[in-house]
Structure 1
Amino acid sequence: MHRIEVSLKPEWPDPKGNSICRDIQDLGITSVSEVRVIDVFWLEGQLSDSEVLTISGELLSDKIIQTFKYDANCPQAEADGFSAIEVTYNAGVTDPVQETILKAISDLGIKGVTAAKTAKRYLLKGEISADELDTIGSKLLINPIVQHVVKSGSNPFPPNPKYTFKLRKIDLLAEKLKDNMASLGKEFSLSHQELSAIYEHYLKLGRAPTDAELETLAQTWSEHCCHKTFKAMLDYDGQIINNLLKQTIAKATAELNKPWCLSVFVDNSGVIEFDDKWGVCFKAETHNHPSAVEPYGGAATGIGGVIRDILGTGLAAKPIANTDVFCFGQPDLPENELPPGVLHPRRVFKGVRSGVADYGNRMGIPTVNGAVLFDERYTANPLVYCGTIGLIPKKYALPGKQSAGDLVVLIGGRTGRDGIHGVTFASGELNDRSTELSFTAVQIGNPIVEKRMLDTLLAARDRELFVRITDCGGGGLSSAIGEMAESTGVKVYLDKVPLKYSGLTYSEIWISESQERMLLAVKKEKLSEIMALFESEGVEASVIGEFSNDRHLKLFYEDNPVADLQMDFLHNGRPQLELTATRHKHRHPEADFDCPEDLETELKNILSHWNVCSREWIIRQYDHEVQGGSVLKPMAGAENDGPGDAAVIRPVLGSKKAVVISNGINPSYADVDAYNMAASAIDEALRQIIAVGGNLDRVALLDNFSWGNASRPESLGDLVRACQACHDLSLVFETPFISGKDSLNNEFRYNDKLITIPHTLLISAIGVMEDGEKAVSMDFKKAGNLIYLVGKTAEELGGSHYFKNHSFIGNRAPAVNAERAKENMQALSSATAKGLVAACHDLSEGGLGVAAAEMAFSGKLGANIRLADVPLSEKIEREDYILFSESNSRFLAEVSPEHKAEFEKLMQAGDFGLIGEVTAEPRLKISGLGGREIIINTPVSELKEAWQRPMRW
């Protein structure tokens, strides 16, 4: 075995070390003045000194900036004043670099290496106590779910245990006793009602189930996989709702019946028509609970999983763009206020950000749109939404079909113990022991494996070498094969599944959620050709079964039968939940403060709010240029650092047609009214599309609900209200839903306390734009241009950032007049299409004040704004309310004076007002009501500084 250490030369700065040093100081430990990071590599095999030297110098290090030591010279001696912590992955956890190293060594012509492993060695300079060193390790450097500290002399390649087959049967007749039923339900994450249905089924069969059968039922019937709350029979204050999803969101899509919707709610993502040849698909997923306990791995596998959803749509789509939306606790939360067993929000934030960025960047997929929100209620239960857009030939847009005799082919990554019980872990609430109890529920992804698989699959699709495809996500093989084979039946040979290491039982192989795996149905006559293609590109592929025609799921291990489930019982035998929901009106103290005299400070305070301030630190770490299709990027303006509204990309290079991607999310409004929260999220997503030059002609929506315990009547009642809003606004705007996902039980329990996240609905929107060259950015363009406010302002500050800064919630959240909003949006999009709008920005967090400031400092220009000319839907006497109201369906539009008459003519059927002008002097001047003097007169540089300062990390 050989050990190699690679470090930066002493004269070079260490950016990773400097970042960790700042994080250590954030913990209140000021004695650490410097951190250096050393990469450690272990290689197992017979290697000569010259081969180790070649690997170290030619492969693992950069001669210009790095130096290396190996074998006898390792570990590197620490200089005086340095302490060391060395961290590596736990046994059985995917080491993403391992396979790349082995492949690269082989490419060098060196054949003696049989295994590789990596570690990080951290050198910390300063007088550090043992307690401080332990705090630094546990709070920043080590997550015990996937990592451990390397002890001197330990074997980095411990032997894996062998597995000897033994069939386990569960005698339900004996387990029928009340006490044992509870323990059985806990072991397999099945409710008493579900276990009773299983008991009756096996009683009729006259036999006991195997553990693999119960595991399959538990995965398939989990909240994560089958959305049983949404499919429940609800009593909503006397109104019976049978299947909330079908009666609201899916119902609206069916009623609209848009011919350009190619595939909705039947596949891994929804597909709409892009042009005569192509379709575009979109899916957004949550990966909340895994990201709470292992932020980097949880988030990375979240984005990796949704990329596979796109790859598993129809007969395989090409991923062309990613989106991400994150919800965290406050980054400046004091350490002593953390609940037990919870990672600090800043650590979660940085881990999630890097996990998503690393995976997407390495896959060569641009990240083009997203959002980040903060609320103390997300501290113990962060939300991680990952989305992917794909491009697919229309002829391949619908799911394929397999026949009896077709082969089950598993491709991509190997199967390990990581991710076992991931969907049942994701379906329950978190608590202060979740970290120690979830060791197998989190995966570490390998994007290079997925990238090779992606490229090869698209080549196989174009050669029509498979007839059906799906991804291995939640539930692993059990869900993927169980769903794919529902209409036919299947035989699966679990000992044929390639493993990362030995020792896995047949049940573990079956339910493992190891990443980077896809399933194909392949005709026997195509097998040799597709296997040769995969082999040529280094993609592992194995035949693990065959589809049948008996509608049974049959599993074997070394020719021993280990499961035989009827497909009808697996997919239709789950008892329907019966739940009670009630409408609950949220009441809060009314806002009780006078209009402040210093509105300039109020504006700066909102610009500096965690939910409003610049996200540049995050955005710069994502690649949004790769694939060359970006038209409007995440940031805009004279210095490319202003907050863009929506992304515009060209899926087909050479075509003028583009797609617009946006999102809306307003969880604070749910504290007042869940219906208005959902309506506001839809309105926000749509107005962002309009703001960049899109229109409503072909726009589709995605819903992602994250809720607490929806079995509580008030919480479930709010969920019903939110779904009703989705139905109502979808019909008015004529924007069908094409896909969605829900994540329930986002709660954290400790010491008899319960922290529940705010009701959170992410609405993602995708629209087709005929000419991407007509896209409009949000920054002011030219002094002397006119500033119009489109839409009307109301005294709607419930859940607003202005009220939040004054420690109030309020009782009137922004509502949506969908009919009027649609008229305004259509009129504005017509004006933009004619080239009459130089810049446009939607009004959202912080209202008019924030939108005007952002447009001004992004364009390095100023603006004169008159509050007296703002169009109102009701009388408002307070200037601060007009300035900071977050009423929906509003825009600021910049128009050249020469286009004034034509613009106003096009807008005459809508609501608009000429409220100001763009100025050359870079100051934001706002005059008050009734001709009152200037109430804000501020250099835009100061506003920009207030906006950029909080997250300048």
Structure 2
Amino acid sequence: EFQQEAKKLDQELKDMLGLTLSSRMVHLYQVEGLSEEEMAQLTPLVFSDPSLDVVHEKPFSFLAQPHFILELLPGQFDQRAEAVKECAELILNRRNIAVRYKTVYVFDGVDTKTLDKLCTYLLNPVEKRRGEMESSFEPSVEWTQEETVLQGFVEASQSALENFLKEYHLAMSLSDLTMIQGCFKEEGREPNLTEVKVLDTYWSDHCRHTTFMTTLEEVDLEEADPSVQKAYGLYEALRHELGWENKPRTLMDLATIGAKVLKKRSVITDLDESDEINACSIQRTLRTQEGPKEALIMFKNETHNHPTEIEPFGGAATCLGGAIRDPLSGRTYVYQGMRITGAGNPNASLADTRPGKLPQKTITQMATKGFSSYGNQIGLTTGFVEEIYHPGYEAKRMETGAVIGANLKDHVHRGKPMEGDLIVLIGGRTGRDGIGGATGSSKEQTSSSVRLSGSEVQKGNAVEERKLQRFFRQERATALIKKANDFGAGGVSVAIGELADSLDIHLDQVPKKYQGLSPMDIALSESQERMAVVLSPNSLGDFLSLAKEENLEATVVATVTSTGALRMYYGERLVVDLKRAFLNLNGATARASVKVAPGKQKEHASPVTTLQEGLQAMDNLAYASQKGLLENFDTTIGSGTLLLPYGGKNQETKSPGMAALIPLKDLTTYDASLMAYGFDPEKMERDPFVGAHDAVVESLAKILAMGGDLQGIRLSFQEYFRKLGEDPFQWGKPFSALLGALQAQMDFQVPAIGGKDSMSGSFEDLHVPNTLISFAVNTEHMEKLLTNDLKGGVTTIMKLTTPRIDNLYDQEAFKRNAAFLMAQRDKGHLLSVDTLKKGILPTLVNMALGNDVGVHLLLHGENLLGYDPGSFLLEVPTEKVPELLLEGAELSLRVLGKTRERAFFSTEQEEIALAQFLRKVKAPLQSVFPSFEAQGAVLEDFTSTITPKAPKRLVDKPKVLIPVFVGTNCEMDLERVFRKEGAEVTTFVLTSVEETLQESIKDFCARLRESDLLMLAGGFSAQDEPEGSGKYIANFLRNPQVKEAVEDLLRRDGLILGICNGFQGLIKSGLLPYGEILPPKDTMPVLTYNTSAKHMSRMVQTKVISRNTPWMSKASLGDVHHVPISHGEGRLVVSEFLFQELKKKGQVITQYVNEKGQPTMEAPYNPNGSYYAIEGLASPCGKIFGKMGHSERCAEGLYQNYAGQYYLDFFKAGLAYFKDQNRRDS
């Protein structure tokens, strides 16, 4: 019953290989450093769950069946093994335990050939290898390519240099290498290989935008369309305005000139500029409860295409991690993220997969797991997710992350590095993962990439980055930082190398994950979750102490000098000595010519003019619902989500973009950030110029549709093109696209203030589509936002069209439409708004699905699927239509239809049930990203009138203690809401750096003895490992000192609350439902994997059926509340006997219910398959309460596209237990 992973694998093997099999997955732990007694002690506490697992000991019976073993490659971060070590060290109070984790795949009755086929399918050689039952714990990584002096290099011939490029797999050009040869000839010495590799990394396209900095010597527009020629004339005029006549023309020049001109003209005055170029940064005045505050808003987009293509999970995870660290290094707290991806057909069969490629389904599913698990663990709200399907992305996947962060302006301190300043590395340790990532991302992929690129892909450790997030939110820490940089592409060589012109770096001081790393490995490793900061020497002590408080390692690794050189030492040995002046040349000047071809017209297709034709056409990936994809991502953490990604009561209406409250530490804010994207691959392929212009307009239109103003929008672009080579026509594609984007910036006076480029989207003869994504960002008052879910009632649908002139959207008409929308928004006339990106029918269907609203259309031969991203659909009160038509008399505004009570779409000739459209849009991705639904019985209603006893003592200001374990991520939300309700809150970080764990436990217990309430927050303690959530919390609670302090709290009539991960810890410890900490046994209830075998993030309804806990004292029996959930292990498994006992004692507090308020096993109402629909449980005395729903994420003004009823007095009720003089014993 609990083998969800194996069942899911069986279904995958049936779908992809056509094999009907019965598989088992055995978790194999190889441990060194434990006695037999310790192993016996840890087995039920760490390695298994007695309620769920069967433990195998030697001799292993499964070895007699067909099987193979897979394990991670040496040097890759093993999250599960790390969690085992952390739990074991917690229980045994000692270190020096070695753990290796492997997975044994067992298949009944398969032959050797089939077994090999299965292994080939499941094994990605970039991350794993076949393993043995037992293997040595001796370090298996060896020093590679020591800093050997390259004898004869400075005198080598051109052919010898060409061979050198191939032999060492360098990404640089022959011209670059020749330039290096000349430099060292001038210095009179031979370089060593590490120096050449550092230069290769430093000058890579990924790090130094080599393609975008290429000098464009000739621009031939003879064949180009007149609009392109006109835009080029504009570009030349702008160059003249800036005095750039003698500056080389480059793609970078074209990409940045719009913002520079608009700044010179004082059109934009909110740019935050500094020597640190971490992210796009703007200044905004935000409303807070203390009045207006000046804040910095930083946003950043980037891709991780190459790594995700060859190792989807790790590549996608570190895409997000890297994006977060850029604004984070700018000292802003990153609070919301967007994910835009490009894939080939995920429904393609394995037989259709090209040699050297992973199947598209595997790539997209594993990349989704990687990105979502990283974001969910770090505690980042995912506000919008969209995957774009195009055959060109089979060449190389597109994996794009965009994030946004904020901080008070006066909390961001910057300074200039001075001689004698120190460089401190803070965060994760360094391994061999990621070596060559920057140069690998700069190369086109070949059929051998998957086999040869293993070390280029990093393994992310999100909980380490969560620590960095917390640390950089402390002004005490950021006030000490002069300058910061994150460890992304290029590792130490770039992250530290960019901080100052003259540096001495001590590679031997860099903390390492394991022994065996060479100086070159350390210099180039792209291990994640690391930051480099510049400090004055007198700030070092305070900085290191603050890092220790956050359980972070911090080490001095470099010094600012005045030598004019980047020098790296290993001990006393000088490994790298490169002149800064030479480094800054960024390689040999590359040159290219540009020739722009005319745009292609779309092949003529008959317009779709009937509902039935539209219904049939929507069974297509282009119109597919992606809700099943989205459910993997936590969309509500941070308590700031203003627009759910899918809104309406059914959560089926996809929002046009994302919106969130802008969080400022210790302040309540009332303003929102908005972010949306624009891009269409089909349009960009036909005409890069018009496609890019459309991309900008689309992103602007989506901001307008969410209630944001055109004024104040700032853009950032993401370019992704094929490897350009020397073909002028290929260079003409990004050139034309950037011209289109420039034209749009000037048309609408909206600058692109940042961007990223990736110019290696090729695989043999296959290439990615021309890609320019426009990300638009603005801020707005939270109460002015608009949603796109139809409200229904007596309402009218109107179409607001933006016409085109010479294929481009008419800028003046678009501006008039924008002004009209803002005026109607302020009058309250706009009930819902969306853009017509996908055409009239798909847009209306999306808007209608959220609330089951029917529509009667008044059609006049329109193409129902016509692409029109710059135009809008509006839902308005019917009585306001005459007023709108009058005020919009000069616009292209007309009535398109009316909403109707029955959930049907109709015209004068047709009527089709909305449910048919829902089935159509669900079908294309159901086998890839199933939106979990399951039949289930309605359960018997019951209630309990038992209430808890009043406390023996009253407290005016209850003291709340929130422990922060490795992986906790909901503590900030809880701290905010408890403080709002008048509690005194202490957030306690459990530390384990520098042998401090036992000291930290002792300190925690002392604080708990002074507290009234223990709050166990949600998150992923120890990454929800090993193989099950809450184990670390449960084992922490079982610590003898902690156990005694918890028992003391309960004796003093204190309260314990656990939400999500905290609830899981309470269940595993025995505190729930028994009220005491117990050793594990197989009769205990357990919170295990959801029946969907996936993470579920959505809104659910719960009903109060017992008030036998103080937290329900302000609720009534039978109340139904909406609450967000986000978890992968929320399925409460409990025996019938125990359930009856819990029911009798009033311990079942809340249940999942359907729309009729009935407890049910039906999904998605019961989102995890929890037995008896149980959502929340209390102890017999009611003083301990746990629940899966995140009540701390409910607040007024949130989730504006979901009409929920929230229990907003939850925390007030819990604290009232300590204050209420009128309470009586039950």
| TM-score, with length taken from structure 2 | 0.70
Q: Determine the C-alpha separation between the residues in 2 that align with 1:397 and 1:817.
A: 41
2:884 maps to amino acid: F
Pairwise CA distance, 1:115: 1.8
2:841 maps to amino acid: G
Q: How does 1:181-196 map to 2 (within 5 A)?
A: 181-186=161-166, 187=168, 188-196=170-178
Map of 2:661 onto structure 1:
650
Q: Determine the C-alpha separation between the residues in 2 that align with 1:225 and 1:192.
A: 18
- Residue by residue over 1:611-664, the C-alpha shift from the partner in whole angstroms, topping out at 9 and shown as x without a partner, is 221001110010010010001011012201221111110023732210111111
Pairwise CA distance, 1:905: 4.3
- 3-state SS in 1 of match to 2:272: strand
Map of 1:451 onto structure 2:
466
- 3-state SS in 2 of match to 1:889: strand
Q: Determine the C-alpha separation between the residues in 1 that align with 2:303 and 2:181.
A: 33
Map of 1:244 onto structure 2:
250
Most deviating of 245-254 and 284-293: 245-254
- 3-state SS in 1 of match to 2:119: helix
Q: Determine the C-alpha separation between the residues in 1 that align with 2:340 and 2:172.
A: 31
> Does 1:56 find its partner at 2:43?
yes
- 3-state SS in 2 of match to 1:274: strand
* Alpha-carbon distance change, 167 to 923 in structure 1, aligned in 2, over 3 angstroms: closer
The two structures, once aligned, show a CA RMSD in angstroms of: 2.4
> Does 1:29 find its partner at 2:39?
no
Q: Determine the C-alpha separation between the residues in 1 that align with 2:621 and 2:146.
A: 55
Q: Determine the C-alpha separation between the residues in 2 that align with 1:312 and 1:641.
A: 37
Pairwise CA distance, 1:589: 8.1
Q: Determine the C-alpha separation between the residues in 1 that align with 2:260 and 2:478.
A: 34
Pairwise CA distance, 1:277: 2.6
Map of 2:378 onto structure 1:
363
Q: Determine the C-alpha separation between the residues in 2 that align with 1:596 and 1:401.
A: 62
> Does 1:470 find its partner at 2:485?
yes
Contact 1:659 1:766 in 2 (8 A): yes
- 3-state SS in 1 of match to 2:546: helix
Q: Determine the C-alpha separation between the residues in 1 that align with 2:448 and 2:586.
A: 33
> Does 1:885 find its partner at 2:866?
yes
Q: How does 1:60-209 map to 2 (within 5 A)?
A: 60-64=47-51, 66-69=52-55, 72-73=57-58, 75=60, 77=62, 83-111=66-94, 113-125=96-108, 127-139=109-121, 141-155=122-136, 157-160=137-140, 163=143, 167-171=147-151, 173=153, 176-186=156-166, 187=168, 188-209=170-191
2:139 maps to amino acid: P
Pairwise CA distance, 1:558: 1.6
Q: Determine the C-alpha separation between the residues in 2 that align with 1:817 and 1:265.
A: 38
- 3-state SS in 2 of match to 1:768: strand
2:863 maps to amino acid: I
* Alpha-carbon distance change, 904 to 586 in structure 1, aligned in 2, over 3 angstroms: closer
> Does 1:828 find its partner at 2:814?
no
Q: Determine the C-alpha separation between the residues in 2 that align with 1:184 and 1:452.
A: 42
Contact 2:676 2:775 in 1 (8 A): yes
Contact 1:320 1:627 in 2 (8 A): yes
- Residue by residue over 1:690-721, the C-alpha shift from the partner in whole angstroms, topping out at 9 and shown as x without a partner, is 11211112211110101002232112111111
Most deviating of 434-443 and 462-471: 462-471
- 3-state SS in 2 of match to 1:27: helix
Contact 1:485 1:547 in 2 (8 A): yes
- 3-state SS in 1 of match to 2:53: strand
Q: 1:388 aligns with which of 403, 418, 422?
A: 403
- 3-state SS in 2 of match to 1:102: helix
* Alpha-carbon distance change, 787 to 148 in structure 1, aligned in 2, over 3 angstroms: same
Pairwise CA distance, 1:867: 2.4
> Does 1:939 find its partner at 2:913?
yes
Q: How does 1:191-230 map to 2 (within 5 A)?
A: 191-230=173-212
Map of 1:949 onto structure 2:
923
Most deviating of 274-283 and 557-566: 274-283
Q: How does 1:718-737 map to 2 (within 5 A)?
A: 718-737=733-752
> Does 1:553 find its partner at 2:534?
no
Contact 2:834 2:843 in 1 (8 A): yes
- Residue by residue over 1:371-422, the C-alpha shift from the partner in whole angstroms, topping out at 9 and shown as x without a partner, is 1011122123111001221112213557542111111111211111111111
Pairwise CA distance, 1:98: 3.2
> Does 1:280 find its partner at 2:280?
no
Map of 2:1164 onto structure 1:
none
Q: 2:626 aligns with which of 615, 622, 627?
A: 615
Q: How does 1:806-885 map to 2 (within 5 A)?
A: 815-845=808-838, 847-868=839-860, 879=861, 882-885=863-866
- 3-state SS in 2 of match to 1:658: strand
Pairwise CA distance, 1:185: 2.5
Contact 2:608 2:614 in 1 (8 A): no
Pairwise CA distance, 1:585: 2.2
Most deviating of 274-283 and 668-677: 274-283
Map of 1:45 onto structure 2:
33
Q: Determine the C-alpha separation between the residues in 2 that align with 1:130 and 1:399.
A: 63
Map of 1:310 onto structure 2:
327
Map of 2:710 onto structure 1:
696
Contact 2:607 2:865 in 1 (8 A): no
> Does 1:16 find its partner at 2:5?
yes
Q: Determine the C-alpha separation between the residues in 2 that align with 1:854 and 1:596.
A: 18
1:787 maps to amino acid: I
- Residue by residue over 1:816-850, the C-alpha shift from the partner in whole angstroms, topping out at 9 and shown as x without a partner, is 223321221221122123211011111112x1121
Map of 2:952 onto structure 1:
none
Map of 2:261 onto structure 1:
255
Contact 1:849 1:883 in 2 (8 A): yes
- 3-state SS in 1 of match to 2:150: coil
Contact 2:835 2:869 in 1 (8 A): no
1:907 maps to amino acid: G
Map of 2:797 onto structure 1:
787
- 3-state SS in 1 of match to 2:874: strand
Q: Determine the C-alpha separation between the residues in 2 that align with 1:578 and 1:720.
A: 14
Q: Determine the C-alpha separation between the residues in 2 that align with 1:482 and 1:736.
A: 30
Q: Determine the C-alpha separation between the residues in 2 that align with 1:461 and 1:816.
A: 50
Q: Determine the C-alpha separation between the residues in 1 that align with 2:917 and 2:794.
A: 21
Pairwise CA distance, 1:504: 1.8
Q: 1:541 aligns with which of 551, 554, 563?
A: 554
* Alpha-carbon distance change, 535 to 885 in structure 1, aligned in 2, over 3 angstroms: same
Q: Determine the C-alpha separation between the residues in 2 that align with 1:939 and 1:228.
A: 54
- Residue by residue over 1:507-536, the C-alpha shift from the partner in whole angstroms, topping out at 9 and shown as x without a partner, is 121011111111011211111222222233
Contact 2:417 2:534 in 1 (8 A): yes
1:815 maps to amino acid: L
Pairwise CA distance, 1:925: 1.7
Q: Determine the C-alpha separation between the residues in 1 that align with 2:274 and 2:921.
A: 40
2:70 maps to amino acid: V
Map of 1:765 onto structure 2:
776
Contact 2:413 2:478 in 1 (8 A): no
Q: Determine the C-alpha separation between the residues in 2 that align with 1:218 and 1:739.
A: 25
Map of 1:636 onto structure 2:
647
Pairwise CA distance, 1:423: 0.9
Map of 2:1149 onto structure 1:
none
Pairwise CA distance, 1:912: 1.2
Pairwise CA distance, 1:286: 0.6
| TM-score, with length taken from structure 1 | 0.89
* Alpha-carbon distance change, 484 to 595 in structure 1, aligned in 2, over 3 angstroms: closer
Q: Which runs of 5 or more structure 1 residues have no equivalent in the other structure?
A: 1-11, 797-811, 869-878, 927-932
Q: 2:594 aligns with which of 559, 581, 597?
A: 581
Q: Which runs of 5 or more structure 2 residues have no equivalent in the other structure?
A: 222-231, 237-246, 286-292, 931-1226
* Alpha-carbon distance change, 610 to 774 in structure 1, aligned in 2, over 3 angstroms: same
- 3-state SS in 2 of match to 1:320: strand
- 3-state SS in 1 of match to 2:896: strand
1:14 maps to amino acid: Q
Q: 1:319 aligns with which of 324, 334, 345?
A: 334
Q: Determine the C-alpha separation between the residues in 2 that align with 1:201 and 1:890.
A: 57
Contact 1:288 1:384 in 2 (8 A): yes
- 3-state SS in 2 of match to 1:470: strand
Structure ID, larger Rg: 2
> Does 1:525 find its partner at 2:517?
no
Contact 1:296 1:351 in 2 (8 A): yes
Q: Determine the C-alpha separation between the residues in 2 that align with 1:164 and 1:696.
A: 55
2:684 maps to amino acid: A
